[in-house]
Amino acid sequence: MKWSAILLCAVVLVGCSVEHPTRPDAALPMRIVSLDYCADQYVLRLADRNQILAISPNAVSDFSYMRETATGVPTVRPSAEDVLALRPDLVVRSFGGGPNASTFFERAGVPVLQVGWASNVDSEEMGSIPSLIEHMASGLGHPDRGDALVASFRRRLVAVRKQSGGENALYMTPSGVTTGPGSLVHEMLVAAGYQNFQEDPGWRSIPLERLAYEQPDIVAAAFFEAITNHTDAWSASRHPVARQQIHNGNRVALQGAWTACGGWFIMDAIEALADGSIE
Amino acid sequence: MAELNARKITVTAKEVRLVHDASIDLASGELVVLLGPNGAGKTSLIRAMVGLETPTTGQVSICGDVMRLLNPLQRARRLSYLPQARPLAWPSKVRDVVALGRYSHGVTIGRLRGIDVKAVDRAIASCDLTELADRNTDTLSGGELARVHCARAFATEAPLFIADEPTAALDPRHQFRVMNLVRSFVDAGGGALVVLHDIQFATKFASRFVWMKAGRIVADGSPKETLTADRISSIYGVKAKVDGFHVEMEGAL
Amino acid sequence: MSDQGRLNLILVVASAAAIFAACFIGSTPLPAERVIAAFFGTGISGDQLVVWSIRLPRALSAFLVGAALGLSGAALQGLLRNPLAEPGVLGVSASASLAATFSLYYGLVALSPLILPISAIIGALAATTLLAVAAIRTRSVVTLILIGVGLSSFAGAAMSLLMNLAPNPFSLSDMINWMLGSVANRSLNDIALVLPFLIAGAATLLVTSRGLSALTLGEEAAAGVGLNLRRQRILTVLGAGITTGASVALAGAIGFVGIVAPHIVRPFVGYDPARTLVPSALLSGLILVIADIGVRVAPTTNELKLGVVAALIGAPAFAWIAMQRRTVNG
């Protein structure tokens, strides 16, 4: 009994290729497992249904853009054991599985397609949404779909009727959080033609005291539709001074799914922002 | 003239009869000593008399009122109680502890009315605590603390006083001092019932002995009538020699 | 003026000064003259809004929560006759937090905003009732504290479970606030919501404070001296539960606050439990306002949680008192 176990292990170890797979090869990956909802978006959009083995449980949540396409697709929790048991030939992830997931899966012989970080809409080559789309599309085996998506993205971007009145916008979530320069959300506001009301970089609480003196022309309220019956009890957005801003007219509601991850769907947010102000 | 009458008291706890059909009276001018071995039911009887325990059968009345129908404040104004365990949770001042005896008169510590201050002073004086009045109780010896507890009980100025082993763990001098205080209380018109273990010592103070064994009162009368060698052996299970009020224990039976 | 009256006056003045000082600190640097002008209603409207709607409510919340916990702590210590009893240590605050988060996550609060303080109070009362029943059966306060540890652990675990079941993964900071406590972004509306409960709870405790003095003699003698034990237990537990529940609804579970102040105050009031109540409340409020000033002034990137600072002060005090403790004639 013990010998056959050892023999089995030896066979498996030899069978698992010793070479280090860094990029998926030319053949289509047919057993794709996605580890988090950001990766899910790309997998659901760019791969065929029969290529997908499993996606993450959050693919059907409110904040997943592709939630309708995700219904009915089998899910798996991003634990190494559960994922490896499915014998995937490609693992796609953004943050799922924890910080060591990439190295772990590669050592286990499964190639990993990492969703990169998007830092701008389309102003630079590095970290732009189109470059991210192209990267994902080729990794998933459908570069043509990637090109089509990029083309439509750029068409929409050009068609956006930007605000030119120099108005400023404050991005706000129900937990009272906003962000300044250096984030994709900031680039989104700029792409729609706004100045960011928040000038400090990084994610932080909305500037409550500043709101007592000056108000943003527009509040980009994101994720508010997803919160049906629960609000963060300490959120700055609950404070009467902030509430005035949200309820006094000039508010553009953004679906949480549009900004939850860096993806082509940020265009929906840009369009909503640009339209919202023009009324 | 205050009187406490307990009639046919039975106290049961978890199906064990602690006190069985006990009847006992306490009136002003008497110093009654309750005697009996450990586990005889003395504390249970006392707690029923004080109103802290509801007897299964029987009735206690004090100054004509049924004990059960009185609220704690009314009870406390008629009867002061010194229990066996006398913890002091905080190192308060002696004067404040004594002032707690005035609780049933509606007193708040730190805001005593004139008559309360006088009562506290009287109690402190009678228990010889005048020099210790402003000391914290955690700096006192066992004997001094016993006097503080007595003072607390006397500060209420209730007509009746019941104490469960007030002389426990005290040296002979302090035992005498405490019982002298009780004696003065009775001489001044009060009625006291005290649990003691030292029979010889008790004869010096008691106007009446009540003997308990296994939850029953077996004798109730003057020391002269009830103190015999047979009684001591039947109640305590020890061989004794009795000569007038001189008691000598010789050994366990 | 009596000693105690003087002590209370000093604490009231110090607390008012601390609250006033707290209004000078905020994310927008405001020069002192403008803050003062805003206080007197002569400043620009933006300044008035900042001082009256943002900074003052925050400082007031810190004071009220501190006072509530100091008052409950002093009352529970009087009832249980032990200086280590305190709503946080005994698991009352954690239970209140659990009940509050439960009613939030399951949408009960949508029915009425009052549901939040009411459910926090129900959670607190469940814990205080359990402790009161246990206190009757066991003489040892150590046992009660262990029960409190159990309650806190259970509540923490249950809250984590709620987190997992919650639909929105962006609520982690919320749960941390419930467990560690914070007065950030409190508004006058938040205070108004819990104030009636705070007042009711405090009144219950103050009205029954006399009995706590009698308990110095132990339960037997206290009953002999005229205390209605059952009534005292029920009302003190009720008052402590309501007060703690209301404070948790406002600022989450802040622990150890009710340990330090009563301990400091006791020697000044002759160790009488009844006379510790008001000064403990005032001193705890003062301590928490100062702690909140510290939280905002500390040069850390993320704002420290108030409960963290409170624990940093209170937990060592707790340990020190525990080691120092010697029974005063059992």
Q: Per-residue pLDDT for chain A (279 aa), expressed as one digit of tens each?
A: 566 656 555 555 554 444 444 444 557 889 999 999 999 999 999 999 999 999 999 899 888 999 999 999 999 999 888 999 999 999 999 998 888 899 999 999 999 999 988 888 888 878 899 999 999 999 999 999 999 999 999 999 999 877 677 889 999 888 888 999 989 999 999 999 999 999 999 888 898 999 888 888 889 988 887 654 456 788 888 899 888 877 776 888 898 889 988 999 999 999 999 887 654
| B208: three-class secondary structure by DSSP | strand
Distance CA C44, CA C41 (A): 8
* Entry pTM: 0.88
Chain C interface test: which of A179, A232, A237 (most C C-beta within 10 Å): A232
Q: Is residue C269 less than 8 Å (CB to CB) from chain B?
A: yes
Domain boundary among A127, A153, A179: A153
Q: Is C330 inside a domain boundary?
A: no
Enumerate the β-bridge partners of residue B247: B242
Nearest residue on chain B to C231, judged by CA atoms? B72
Q: Compute the residue count for chain C.
A: 330
Residue A204 is part of a domain; what is its CATH number? Answer: 3.40.50.1980
Q: Which of A153, A183, A216 is the last residue of a domain?
A: A153
Contacts of C274 in chain B (CB under 8 A): 108-110
Chains in contact with C via at least 3 Cβ–Cβ pairs below 8 Å: A, B
pLDDT digits (tens, 9 = 90+) for B118-137: 999 999 999 999 999 999 99
Touching chains, B (3+ CB pairs < 8 A): C
Residue B135: DSSP 8-state: S
Chains touching A (3+ CB pairs < 8 Å): C
The answer to whether A62 faces chain C, any CB pair under 8 Å, is yes
Does residue A126 belong to any structural domain of this protein? yes
Question: Which H/E stretch holds residue B178?
Answer: helix B172-187
Residue C12: CATH number of its domain: 1.10.3470.10
**Mean pLDDT taken over chain C:** 90
Burial status of residue B141 (CB atoms within 10 A of its CB: 0-12, 13-18, 19 or more): exposed
The C-alpha torsion from A166 through A167 and A173 to A179, rounded to 10°, is 30
Interface size A-C, in CB pairs within 8 Å, comes to 84
C-alpha B91/C-alpha B48 separation (Å) is: 30
Does any domain span residue C113? yes
CB contact under 8 A, C50 and A209: yes
Q: Are residues A72 and A39 in the same domain?
A: yes
First-to-last C-alpha distance (Å) of chain B: 43
Same domain, A246 and A178: yes
The verdict on a CB contact (< 8 Å) between C178 and A209 is no
Mark residue B127 as left, alpha or beta (left: phi above 0; alpha: psi -120 to 50; beta: remaining). alpha
Inter-chain CB proximity B110 and C224 less than 8 Å: no
Indicate if A178 and A127 belong to the same structural domain: no
Do chains C and A touch, with touching meaning 3 or more CB–CB pairs less than 8 Å apart? yes
> Are C171 and A232 a contacting pair at CB < 8 A?
yes
Strands A32-34 and B31-35: unpaired
Report the C-alpha gap between C64 and C201 in whole angstroms. Answer: 12
Nearest C-alpha neighbor of C207 from the set C75, C43, C307: C75
Residue A19: predicted pLDDT: 44
Whether C313 is in a domain gets the answer yes
Domain range for C168 is 3-324
Residue of C157, C142, C145 lying closest to C87 (CA atoms):
C145
> CB distance from C215 to chain B under 8 Å?
yes
Query: B72 and C217: CB-CB below 8 Å?
Result: no
* Contact (CB, 8 A) for A178 and A203: yes
SS3 annotation, chain C: CCHHHHHHHHHHHHHHHHHHHHCCCCCCCCCHHHHHHHHCCCCCHHHHHHHHHHHHHHHHHHHHHHHHHHHHHHHHHHHHCCCCCCCCCCCHHHHHHHHHHHHHHCCHHHCCCCHHHHHHHHHHHHHHHHHHHHHHHCCCHHHHHHHHHHHHHHHHHHHHHHHHHCCCHHHHHHHHHHHHCCCCCCCHHHHHHHHHHHHHHHHHHHHCHHHHHHHHHCHHHHHHCCCCHHHHHHHHHHHHHHHHHHHHHHHCCCCCHHHHHHHHHHHHHCCCHHHHHHHHHHHHHHHHHHHHHHHHHCCCCCCCCHHHHHHHHHHHHHHHHHHHCCCCCC
Count the domains in chain A.
2
Residue of B120, B112, B115 whose CA lies nearest to B94: B120
B109 found inside a domain: no
Count the domains in chain B: 1
Residues A188 and A250 in one domain: yes
Task: Examine residue C105 and state whether it is found in any structural domain, yes or no.
Answer: yes
Confidence grade of residue B57 (pLDDT, cut at 50, 70, 90): very high
Q: What is the pLDDT of residues C171-218, one digit of tens each?
A: 677 788 898 899 999 999 999 999 999 999 999 999 999 999 999 999
- Residue A17 included in any domain: no
- Contacts of C10-13 with C-beta under 8 Å, sequence gap 24+, read C11/C279, C11/C282, C11/C283, C11/C286, C12/C282
| Contact of C64 with C196, CB cutoff 8 Å | no
Measured distance CA(B198)–CA(B214) in Å, rounded: 19
Q: Residue range C140-144: average pLDDT?
A: 82
**C184 and A CB contact within 8 Å:** yes
Query: What pLDDT does residue A12 have?
Result: 53
d(CA C216, CA B89): 5
- For residue C330, the chain B residues in CB contact (below 8 A) are 85, 87
Taking Cα atoms as reference points, which of B147, A39, B89 lies closest to residue C80? B89
Tokens representing B92?
């308060």
The dihedral formed by the CA atoms of C229, B107, B45 and B218, expressed in degrees to the nearest 10 = 180
pLDDT tens-place string over residues B62-107: 999 999 999 999 999 999 999 999 999 999 999 999 999 999 999 8
For position C327, what pLDDT does the model report?
47
**Which tokens sit at C56?**
């003052």
A230/C171 touch (CB, cutoff 8 Å), yes or no: yes
In the sheet with B16-27, reading across from the earlier edge strand, the strands are B16-27, B3-13, B57-62, B65-66
**Residues of the domain holding B7:** 3-85+159-252
The model's confidence at residue C166, banded by pLDDT at 50, 70 and 90, is low
Per the CB < 8 Å rule, is B82 touching C224?
Answer: yes
Q: Are the beta carbons of C216 and B89 separated by less than 8 Å?
A: yes
Q: Does C74 touch chain B (CB under 8 A)?
A: no
Q: Would you call A212 and C187 a contact, using CB atoms and an 8 Å cutoff?
A: no
Which of B14, B43, B80, B92 to probe by mutation at the C interface, max C CB count within 10 Å?
Answer: B92
CB contact under 8 A, C210 and B52: no
Instruction: Note whether residue A3 is domain-resident.
Output: no
- Domain membership of residue A162 (yes or no) is no
**Which of A179, A209, A255 is the mutation pick for testing C, counting most C CBs within 10 A?**
A209
pLDDT reported for residue C318: 87
- Residue at C329 is within a domain: no
Residue B126 lies in a domain: no
Q: Smallest CA–CA separation between C216 and chain B, in Å?
A: 5
CA-CA-CA-CA torsion for C299, C304, C308, C314, nearest 10 degrees? 40
Check if the beta carbon of residue C182 is closer than 8 Å to that of residue C307: yes
What is residue A11's predicted lDDT score, i.e. its pLDDT?
55
Nearest chain C Cα distance for residue A254, angstroms: 16
Q: Alpha-carbon distance B194 to C111, whole Å?
A: 63
Chain A stretch 155-184, residues whose beta carbon is closer than 8 A to a beta carbon of chain C: 173, 175-176
| Three-state secondary-structure class, residue B54 | coil
CA distance A274 to chain C (A): 27
> What is the pLDDT at residue A18?
44
Residue numbers in A near C116 (CB within 8 A): 233
CB contact under 8 A, A241 and C182: no
Q: Is the pLDDT of residue C330 over 50?
A: no
Q: Would you say residue C170 has pLDDT above 60? A: no
CB A78 within 8 A of CB A35: yes
Q: Which residues of C touch B80 (CB under 8 A)?
A: 224-225
| Rg of chain B in Å (alpha carbons) | 18
Domain count, chain C: 1
- R_g over Cα of chain C: 20
Same domain (yes/no): A36, A143: yes
Which one, of C100, C217, C96, C209, lies nearest residue C151 by Cα? C96
Q: Does position B228 have pLDDT exceeding 80, yes or no?
A: yes
Sequential DSSP letters for chain A: -HHHHHHHHHHHHHHS-SS---S--SSPP-SEEE-SHHHHHHHHHHS-GGGEEEB-GGGGSTT-TTHHHHTTS-B--S-HHHHHHT--SEEEESSTT-TTHHHHHHHTT--EEE-----BSSSSSTTBHHHHHHHHHHHHT-HHHHHHHHHHHHHHHHH-----S--EEEEE-TT-EEE-TTSHHHHHHHHTT-EES--S-SEEE--HHHHHH---SEEEEESTTT-SS---TT-GGGSHHHHHHHHSS-EEEE-HHHHSSSSTTHHHHHHHHHHHHH-
Give the whole-angstrom CA distance, residue B123 versus residue B147: 10
In angstroms, rounded to a whole number, what is the distance separating the alpha carbons of residues B187 and B190?
Answer: 7
ipTM of the complex: 0.92
The answer to the question of residue C106 being in a domain is yes
CA distance B210 to chain C (A): 22
Residues of C within 8 A of B93 (CB-CB) are: 270-271
Q: Who among B71, B85, B100 is closest to C225 (CB)? A: B100
C2 has a chain B CB within 8 A of its CB: yes
Is A4 within 8 Å of chain C by CB? Answer: no
- CB of A111 closer than 8 Å to CB of A22: yes
Which residues on chain B are in Cβ contact (under 8 Å) with C325? none
CA A115 to chain CA centroid, nearest Å: 9
Q: How far is C91 from chain A (nearest CA, A)?
A: 21
Domain holding A231, by residue range, is 168-278
Residue C175: per-residue pLDDT = 80
List the CATH number of the domain containing B240.
Answer: 3.40.50.300
Asked if the structure places residue A11 within a domain, the reply is no
Largest CA distance in chain A: 78
Q: Which residues of C touch B83 (CB under 8 A)?
A: 218, 220-221, 224
The pairing of beta strand A177-179 with beta strand A203-205: antiparallel
Of B89-93, C66-70, C172-176, C242-246, which gets the smallest average pLDDT? C172-176
pLDDT at C187: 94
Cβ-nearest to A210 among C28, C116, C178? C28
Q: A220 and A137, same structural domain?
A: no
